[in-house]
Amino acid sequence: GRIKLDIGGVNFTTSRLTLTRDSESMLAAMFSGRHDIRVEDDGTIFIDRDGTHFRHILNYLRDGGVKLDALPRNRQVLRELRNEAVFYQLHGLVQQIEKLI
């Protein structure tokens, strides 16, 4: 089924399959069923992070890897995205971003 996320005030809809695709990530641990997750009254799951770059995180998980032409080109934005990838423990994404900055 669908999972509705509120990432720092920005809403996203995805699936458990997508969120658990990288088995070593923080998102996979959160949505594996091993942890209780608080669902807000509106049905969303809140993660207190900046939602600006989360679409790139989801696309990385959906695509099963990095599509270099889909990543931002601005180095500052890439550094911000790297910080988010580190937080979510997406090591493959971190490595690819580091090659670009």
Number of H helices, E strands in the chain: 5, 3
Per DSSP, the three-state class of 84 is: helix
The band of 22, judged by pLDDT with boundaries at 50, 70 and 90, is very high
At 29-86, the pLDDT tens digits run 999 988 899 999 999 999 999 999 999 999 999 998 887 777 888 999 999 999 999 9
Q: Tell me the whole-structure pTM to 2 decimals.
A: 0.90
Q: What is the DSSP string of 43-71?
A: S-EEE-S-GGGHHHHHHHHHHTS--GGGS
